[in-house]
């Protein structure tokens, strides 16, 4: 079994750690030259703000909506990413960095209680770094990504979902848009 640990709204989450006034506000992060939106908080997503949207076309609307607009801070994101990687390493032996805000964990040598391991990682990331994460667990890495998609979007899963039987896997694949994978 493999888990993917994915920090929710990574760039916005990093900014919120160092500026608590941004919590519960719509936040967008702009590209290097502040040309387009490269990250959004859930609150910004609910306003219909899209990834890649050209900033200057919507600047006045963002002001009206109270959207916090920030330039990207790549040194901060790299530092938080490095810190994030260390937390699962305290719990499991075999991790693979997948992206700046995602790591795969090989759970084949872990305890049989996969939910317990996932909650342990999730809770430590929240406690140590203040980062909310979603964890998807499945027999292969691609399915772990699918599982994470559901864990992140449906509150009933509390950001952790295990797909460990064929029926659950088939049902989840029927419902997801291929572009999400």
Q: Which helix (H) or strand (E) holds 122?
A: helix 114-129
pLDDT digits (tens, 9 = 90+) for 79-128: 999 999 999 998 888 999 999 999 999 988 776 788 888 999 999 999 99
| Domains of the chain with bracketed CATH | 2-8+75-180 (3.30.70.270), 12-72 (3.40.1170.60)
pLDDT band at 21 (very low <50, low <70, confident <90, very high): very high
pTM of the model: 0.87
Do residues 91 and 124 lie in contact, with contact meaning Cβ atoms separated by under 8 Å?
yes
The residues with which 71 forms a beta bridge, in sequence order, are 30
Strand, coil or helix: what is 114?
helix
Average pLDDT of span 143-165: 91
Q: What is the pLDDT of residue 111?
A: 67
Burial 30-50 (b: 16+ CB within 10 A, else e): beeeeebbebbbebbeebebe
Residue with tokens 């559901």: 150
Distance CA 35, CA 178 (A): 29
Closest C-alpha among 70, 96, 88 to residue 11: 70
% of the chain with per-residue pLDDT over 70: 99
């Amino acid at each position: 079994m493999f888990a993917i640990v994915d920090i929710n709204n990574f760039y916005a989450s990093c900014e919120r750690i160092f500026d608590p006034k941004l919590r519960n506000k719509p936040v967008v992060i702009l590209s290097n030259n502040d040309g387009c939106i490269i990250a959004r908080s859930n609150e910004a997503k609910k306003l219909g703000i899209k990834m890649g949207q050209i900033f200057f076309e919507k600047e006045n609307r963002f002001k009206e909506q109270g959207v916090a607009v920030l330039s990207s801070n790549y040194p901060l994101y790299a530092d938080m990413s490095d810190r994030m990687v260390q937390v699962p390493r305290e719990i499991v032996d075999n991790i693979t960095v997948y992206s700046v805000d995602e790591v795969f964990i090989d759970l084949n040598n872990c305890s049989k209680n996969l939910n317990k391991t996932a909650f342990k990682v999730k809770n430590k990331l929240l406690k140590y770094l203040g980062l909310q994460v979603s964890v998807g667990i499945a027999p292969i890495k691609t399915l772990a990504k699918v599982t994470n998609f559901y864990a992140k979007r449906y509150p009933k899963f509390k950001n952790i979902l295990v797909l460990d039987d064929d029926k659950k896997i088939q049902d989840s694949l029927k419902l997801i848009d291929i572009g999400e994978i």
